Chain A
Amino acid sequence: MQRINGSLCATALVLLMSGLGGPDALSAKERSASAGIPPEKVAAYLYAVIKADRTVYTTEIVDRLQGKGIIMASEHWEQENALMLPAQFLHHSSKLVAESGSGIRYRLISLWPIYRRNAPASDLERSALESLSKNPDWPVTGIVTSGRKQYFQAIYPDLAISQVCIGCHNSHRLSPKRDFKLNDVMGGIAITIPLE
């Protein structure tokens, strides 16, 4: 059930690292067809990078600058000359990844999303979030289908790593849950890899 196409995974990883477009991906696909990397690993790699980027941004940029009073992070950062929130950082980078055409997508989901679009879209996502909130140590993975299309999905827990996260979620007027604490599981990062 959790078998993955290794060549695709490798392609996705290369694409993610290099940021190159579709034609290169195709040639890479051919080159690395022999070497199979399970999609769990690809997702794990991706997650490591996503998490590292987001953590660097959160601690070294937002927390540090905000702590020194140099600049604040705000949801409407464009209008307020502020830093984007760490969650927005992830959304935007995710959008860039999607626009790159690599096929790999990832997004933040939560059982208590501020915006409805970030609610779990599938049963897998919902059940994964529920299980992650109880046991955040391991990601939940699975194959999902859309019509005839199949995708590998890995859902990693997303913790409240910074005061910025819980500060926003606990005070946002659209937030359905307002009692997050540091290191609580606020939701998950769903990484989707097409299996075609």
Chain B
Amino acid sequence: MNPARAPSHAATRWGLQPKLILAMLLVGVVPLIVGLSLAFWQGSREIQTVNGENFKALAEEAARKVDLLMSDEVARTSRIAADPAIIRELEQRRDALLDMTEDERRRAMDRLQKGWEAKEPATVQTITGSHMAGLLQEYFSGAKSEADQLIPQVVRSATKLLYITDLEGHLVASLTAQPPLANKNQAWWTGAFHQGIGQLFIEDVHFDERVQTYVISISLPIMDRIRYEAIGVIHRVIDAKEFFSPSLAPIRFGKTGHVMLIDHRGIVVNCPILPTGLPLSDAQLIPLVTPLHPGWVSAPSDGHGGTSTSIIGFAPVPETSRATNGTLDKGSWHSFVWQASDELFAPIWHFLTWMALFSLVSVGLMAALGYLAANRIVTPVRRLQAAAQLIGRGELHEPIDIRTGDEIQDLADEFNRMNRQLEAAFAGLTDQVTIKTQQVESLLHSTDQILDAVPTPIVMVDHNEQVRYINRVGRDSFETILNGSRDVPLFDLLPVDTATRERLRTEFTCVRSGENAVVAAATEEAAVLSPIRDPLTPATDKADASSQQEIQIGPRQYHYQWFHLAGGNQGGDRIGLIFRDTTDDSRLQEQLIQAEKSGSLGTLTAGIGHELNNPLFGILGLGEAIEEEANLDRAKSYARDIVQHGRRMAATIRDFTGVTSRESSDQRQPVHLEQELDQALETLTGSLNPSEFMIEKTYAGDSCVLALPDQLRQAFTNVMMNAIQAMKGRGTLRLATARTDSSIVVTIADSGPGIPKQYLSKLFDPFFTTKEQGEGSGLGLTVAHRIIKKFGGEIRIESQEGSGTTCLITLPAIPLLLPPQEASCSESTARSAQQPSSS
């Protein structure tokens, strides 16, 4: 763990809980925002469409209403126009005019004009007080109407002017004196009269000076009684606002939604907000809302001065439009339905506000729930984390108790199981460690005990020649030197002279550098190869290797030995030094050697004395007899006996000396065992009766040993001679060679009487013999033993009284010779065969 890195890591790190909360918020908020946006967009569209369609329907309905209103008025006016009395009067007027000349007409007209302009009561009376005017008044007041066709009050009050002209456009009847007298040049008159054909003419809204208000007008031709031609025009001027308001003004929706009536020029005919006669504020709006079919449009302005996007429904007033300004293509009226955008879109904004509010609440809820949920998830996870840390430290003793009923609980259960297993495993390990520690301690203790029990000092030294351990005997031995301190250099411990110290240091260095094996091996080899010293043979080399391994410490002599102790994992290698107090050993050995020397010398002298005494006494007796014998022949016979005795003595001495003297020659060579055996046998069996004496040979073949052939043959001869003598010329002599991996065993067995058990241990002693005096010197087996020993072999005699004797000779084998070497082996054999047997 890098502590320097941890804070920066922690600063950018997001825990599981915030991540979960964030994820939940994102999961909730993103769809919410997308949904809200889509809802707003779609809602706006739908509100536009729905409102547009509604506005359109409303506009159509309003247009129909206007149409009905106008149709009613047209019909009402038309009833006046169809009045037979009026028609009759106008027909008469037409006929009268036809009778008049142009001048008469003009003069009458001028007179009337002056009177009318001057408001002469008489003239006015002819117009406003005529019969026709009376009829008009009756119609206007509703007196002539049917009971179910009452003229509404609004119509009466809205009708500002009502008058009739003749076919010349001259005023003939009027309710008031306001109308002009001549109307022929008026557009409405021309339109309505229409060259005598007559047609309905509805005038667009305009300001009328006479009534000082914005008006529309309805002009109808008064046809003759057969409806063939127009004979006059009835003209009605209506206050637009007053006329339409009662019908249109009540159509309100919301705060701003209303219906208005405009003409094709965009002039307001009636509007609850705008004054009549005012054009729409945005001229570009006019073509959008005045097509000849109903519809709705999302316009850039509202026509009421506002420039926000507006939904406007519109519809032409169908029947009325056909008569406006005479024909449809000269003008049309349109209903216009509008509501302020703010209000129109208020529901969606309202909806959006509420949705935003709810969204906020939702987000809050989500955050809270997310927190709770995350907490619910994270808390057990954190507990698991803490538990995992405890498990890691091996400190979790209570099982994790998480009851969430889901994977986390399963995980906790797994943790618990794992922890139990770990505890069990650790407990086993601890026990094992304790046991092992105890074992190690007891081992150390016992090692200490063993080492302390070892009666020789043992010192352990490290690489730096510092003494690390000394066993009890060592401590006792070197107590004076140690002075209580154990940690002393080795050579402070060993007070030896400089030369010895140098030698020791050299050996130490060798052992330390891993050559201890060599040293040990050399030492071992020296010990093994040290020849067996004959007590009679004077020691030739006093400074042998073993004397090097000894040192003198104080008054005592120690034999020491280095050993190397591999350090293993824990520490460096150590060098051990074992001392063996040889002070007493040397003394004892010397005493033993002395005893051995005296003992052997005693036996030897007794043997030699015994061997030489008999013939000597014989010689002495024969000599004395010769002195006294006068008989020369007898004396000569005595002398021959003396010579014989002398020769016997000489043979004894030769035999004796032969044991020792040939040891000087040490030219070993490969020797063919079987050949040596055969040659030895040959020299012995020449005088034997073959019918009574049988020889069985079982040779392994080609058994070679490294030896001196003469001596080896001597040893065989000695052993076989004993066997032949024991059989007394009768019986079976079995010779056998057997080869193992490293040695060759020669078996020489006779069928003689055997050797008593008590003699078996003395067989190889010099001069020990069971033979009669003069039959053997008692040196044969001794010699054979020595020879075989010298060649690294062993000789053993097994015998059971009454069932023959077996001599087993084991010699170290040399590897099977290859042909050239075999030739040399044979050669040596041949060479040795040429030498006469000396036994």
Residues of A within 8 A of B (CB): 76, 78-81, 95, 98-99, 101, 105, 107, 116-117, 121-122, 124-125, 144-149, 151, 153, 192, 194
A121: chain B residues within 8 A (beta carbon): 223, 225-227
Is the CB–CB distance between A101 and B195 below 8 Å? yes
Question: Which residues in B have their C-beta under 8 angstroms from that of A144?
Answer: 225-226
CB of B203 closer than 8 Å to a CB of A: no
Among residues of A, the one whose C-beta sits closest to the C-beta of B227 is A121
Provide the bound-state CA to CA distance between A168 and B52, in Å.
30
Other 11 A-B pairs with CB < 8 A, given A78-B322, A78-B328, A105-B228: A79-B294, A80-B293, A116-B75, A122-B226, A146-B225, A146-B229, A146-B231, A148-B98, A149-B228, A151-B228, A192-B226
Which residues from A are CB-within-8-Å of B319? 76
Q: When chains A and B are docked, how far (Å) is the Cα of A45 from the Cα of B292? A: 38
Give bound CA distance, A146 to B88, whole Å: 8
- Shortest Cβ distance from A126 into chain B, in angstroms? 12
CB-CB nearest in chain A for B93: A147
A151 to B95, CA, bound (A): 15
Q: Tell me, in angstroms, the Cα distance from A147 to B199 when the chains sit together.
A: 21
Bound CA span A121–B84, Å: 10
Cβ 8 A contact of A146, one of B226, B294, B316 = B226
- CB–CB A192/B228 < 8 A: yes
B-side contacts of A76, CB under 8 Å: 318-319
Contact of A81 with B293 at beta-carbon distance under 8 Å, contacts A116-B75, A151-B228 already known: yes
- Nearest CB in chain B: distance from A172 CB, A: 12
CB-CB < 8 A to A107: which residues of B? Answer: 227
B316 partner, pick from A79, A98, A122, beta carbons under 8 A? A79
Cα A177 to Cα B78 with chains together (Å): 21
Bound-state Cα–Cα, A18 to B102, Å = 33
Residues of B within 8 A of A145 (CB): 226
Question: How many residues does chain B have at the interface if contact means C-beta atoms less than 8 Å apart?
Answer: 30
Interface centre among B78, B94, B228, B292 (most CB of A within 10 A): B228
Check if B91 is an interface residue, CB within 8 A of chain A: yes
CB nearest neighbor in A for B292: A79
Q: Tell me which residues from 189 to 231 in chain B have a Cβ below 8 Å from any Cβ of chain A.
A: 194-195, 197, 199, 223-229, 231
Contacts A99-B197, A147-B92 given; does A116 touch B228 at CB 8 Å: no
Complexed CA–CA distance, A94 and B550 (Å): 166
Asked if B224 and A147 make an inter-chain contact with CB atoms under 8 angstroms apart, the answer reads: yes
A74 CA / B409 CA spacing, docked (Å): 79
The answer to whether A79 touches B228 (Cβ under 8 A) is no
> Which of chain A's residues has its CB closest to B228's CB?
A192
Known A79-B293, A81-B293; contact A146-B78, beta-carbon cutoff 8 A: no
Give the distance to chain B from A69, nearest Cβ to Cβ, in Å.
19
Given A99-B195, A146-B91: A151 touches B227 (CB 8 Å cut-off): no
Q: In the assembled complex, which residues on chain B have CB atoms less than 8 Å from the CB atom of A81?
A: 293
Question: Provided the pairs A80-B293, A117-B78 are in contact, do residues A98 and B197 lie with their beta carbons within 8 angstroms?
Answer: yes
Q: List 14 A-B contacts (CB under 8 A).
A: A76-B318, A79-B292, A79-B293, A79-B294, A95-B199, A99-B197, A105-B197, A116-B75, A116-B78, A144-B225, A147-B92, A151-B226, A153-B226, A192-B226
Which A residues lie within 8 Å of B98 (CB)?
A: 148
Chain B positions 93 through 108: 1 when the CB is less than 8 Å from some CB of chain A, otherwise 0: 0110010000000000
Set of chain A residues within 8 Å of B226, measured between Cβ atoms: 121-122, 124-125, 144-146, 151, 153, 192
User: Which chain A residues border B321 with CB–CB below 8 Å?
Assistant: 79
Kindly list chain A residues whose C-beta atoms are within 8 Å of the C-beta of B224: 146-147, 149
* Minimum CB–CB distance for B321 against chain A, Å: 8
Nearest opposing residue in chain A for B64, CB measure: A173
Task: Give residues 216-257 of B contacting A (CB, 8 Å).
Answer: 223-229, 231
Tell me the bound Cα distance from A27 to B197 in angstroms: 23
CA A91 to CA B661, docked complex, whole Å: 181
Docked pose: A121 CA to B222 CA in angstroms:
12
CB distance from B96 to the nearest CB of A (A): 9
Q: How far is the CB of A156 from chain B (nearest CB, A)?
A: 16
- How far does the Cβ of B219 sit from chain A's closest Cβ, in whole Å? 14
Which residues of chain B from 701 to 733 have any CB-CB distance to chain A below 8 Å in the complex?
A: none
In the complex, are the beta carbons of A148 and B227 less than 8 A apart?
no
Q: Report B-chain residues with C-beta under 8 Å of the C-beta of A99.
A: 194-195, 197
Q: What's the least CB distance linking A141 to chain B, in Å?
A: 13
CA distance A116 to B77 in the complex (A): 12
| Residues in chain A near residue B294, CB distance under 8 A | 79
By beta carbon, the residue of chain A nearest B322 is A78
Residue interface mask B61-86, A partner, CB < 8 A = 1: 00000000000000100110010000
In angstroms, Cα B226 to Cα A151, docked, is 9
CB B818 to nearest CB in A, in angstroms, measures 128
Query: Which residues of B lie under 8 Å from residue A192 when comparing CB positions?
Result: 226, 228
Query: B200 — nearest CB in chain A belongs to which residue?
Result: A117
The listed residue (B95, B195, B199, B318) touching A148 by CB distance below 8 A is B95
Specify the chain A residue showing the minimal Cβ separation from B63: A79
Closest Cβ of chain B: how far from A177's Cβ, in Å?
18
Q: Are A122 and B225 in contact (CB under 8 A)?
A: yes
Contact A194 B228 (CB under 8 A): yes
Bound Cα distance A125, B328 (Å): 30
Among A78, A80, A147, the residue within 8 A (CB) of B91 is A147
Given contacts A116-B78, A121-B227, contact A79 B318 (CB under 8 A): yes
Q: Give min CB distance, A188 to chain B, whole Å.
A: 13
Per the bound structure, the CA–CA distance linking A117 and B293 in Å amounts to 26
A125 to B294, CA, bound (A): 39
Nearest CB in chain B to that of A194: its residue: B228
Give the chain B neighbours of A153 by CB distance below 8 A.
226
A105 to B231, CA, bound (A): 16
Q: Nearest chain-B residue to A95 (Cβ)?
A: B197
B194 / chain A contacts, CB cutoff of 8 Å: 99
A92 CB to closest chain B CB, in angstroms? 11
Question: How far does the alpha carbon of A67 sit from the alpha carbon of B166 in the complex, in Å?
Answer: 48
Q: Which residues on the B side are within 8 Å of A149 (C-beta)?
A: 224, 228
Chain B 155-199 interface mask (CB, 8 Å, partner A; 1/0): 000000000000000000000000000000000000000110101
What are the residues of chain A within 8 A of B82 when measuring CB–CB?
A: 116
| In-complex Cβ contact of A78 among B78, B197, B225, B292 (8 A) | B292
CA distance A125 to B319 in the complex (A): 26
Q: How far is the CA of A192 from the CA of B226 in the complex (A)?
A: 9
Q: How far is the CA of A144 from the CA of B91 in the complex (A)?
A: 14
Q: How far is the CB of B68 from the nearest CB of chain A, in Å? A: 9
Shortest CB-to-CB span from A157 to chain B, Å, is: 19
Least CB distance, B24 to chain A, in whole angstroms: 58
Top 9 A-B pairs, shortest CB-CB distance = A147-B91, A146-B224, A121-B227, A98-B197, A76-B318, A147-B95, A79-B292, A144-B226, A148-B95
Residue among A78, A79, A149, A192 with most chain B CB within 10 A: A79
Q: Which residues of B contact A117 (CB under 8 A)?
A: 78
Question: CA–CA, A122 to B322, complex, Å?
Answer: 27
Assembled-state Cα–Cα distance A180/B98 (Å)? 45
Closest chain A residue to B99, Cβ basis: A148
The docked-state distance in angstroms from the alpha carbon of A125 to that of B292 is 36
Q: Quote the shortest CB–CB distance from A151 to chain B (angstroms).
A: 6
Q: Which of A98, A107, A122, A145 has the most CB of B within 10 A?
A: A98
Across-interface contacts of A146 in B (CB, < 8 A): 91, 224-226, 228-229, 231
| Bound-complex Cα distance A147 to B194 (A) | 21
The distance from the CB of B379 to the nearest CB of chain A, in whole angstroms, is 73
In the complex the two chains form, what is the Cα distance from A116 to B318 in whole Å?
18
Q: How long is the Cα–Cα vector from A48 to B364 in the complex, in angstroms?
A: 86
A26 to B474, CA, bound (A): 176
Report the separation of the CA atoms of residues A53 and B199 in the bound assembly, to the nearest whole angstrom. 24
Chain B proximity of A110: nearest CB distance (Å): 13
Most buried by B among A121, A122, A124: A121
Query: Which chain A residues border B228 with CB–CB below 8 Å?
Result: 105, 146, 149, 151, 192, 194
Q: List the B side residues contacting A124 at CB < 8 Å.
A: 226
Per the bound structure, the CA–CA distance linking A182 and B529 in Å amounts to 158
How many angstroms from the CA of A163 to the CA of B316 in the assembled complex?
A: 28
Point out the residues of chain A lying under 8 angstroms from B225, CB to CB: 121-122, 144, 146
Q: How far is it, in angstroms, between the C-alpha of A192 and the C-alpha of B322 when the chains are bound?
A: 25
* CA of A56 to CA of B473, assembled, Å: 154
